[in-house]
């Protein structure tokens, strides 16, 4: 899994628009996955390192469900696959 689409993200797809309940629905989706897999599998998501995409996640709730996060560290650049310098 990755993260919910956000208004400034052009990579979501041409017909995919973020909804006002995406943050809550993403938590519900992860809860459903966890219920289906139980403790037999680890559950994680790949998530961006950028602040705007992090705001699309409910970390306090996801921390209760997910086993770990995979931070896509190439997002530390100033733009998605942008400049060659990091933008910490």
pLDDT tens, 20-57?
888 999 999 999 999 998 888 999 998 887 788 888 89
**Residue bearing the bigger pLDDT, 86 or 50:** 50
Q: Domain range for residue 49?
A: 1-6+41-80
Residue 57 lies in a domain: yes
User: What average pLDDT does the segment 2-9 reach?
Assistant: 70
Long-range contacts of 53-56 (CB under 8 A, 24+ apart): 53/3, 53/6, 53/9, 55/6, 56/3, 56/4, 56/5, 56/6, 56/18, 56/22, 56/23, 56/26
Residue 31 lies in a domain: no
Q: Could you give the number of structural domains in the chain?
A: 1
Residue 72 lies in a domain: yes
Residue 75 lies in a domain: yes
Residue 22 lies in a domain: no
The pLDDT value given to residue 16: 76
Give the tokens for residue 80: 């998605």
Residue 47 lies in a domain: yes
pTM of structure: 0.75
């Amino acid at each position: 899994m990755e993260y919910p689409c956000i208004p400034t993200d052009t990579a979501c797809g041409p017909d995919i628009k973020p909804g006002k309940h995406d943050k809550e629905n993403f938590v519900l989706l992860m809860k459903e996955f966890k219920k289906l897999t139980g403790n037999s599998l680890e559950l994680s998501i790949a998530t961006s390192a950028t602040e705007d995409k992090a705001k699309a996640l409910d970390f306090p709730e996801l921390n209760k469900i997910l086993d770990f996060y995979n931070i896509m560290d190439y997002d530390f650049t100033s733009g998605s696959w942008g400049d060659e310098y990091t933008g910490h």
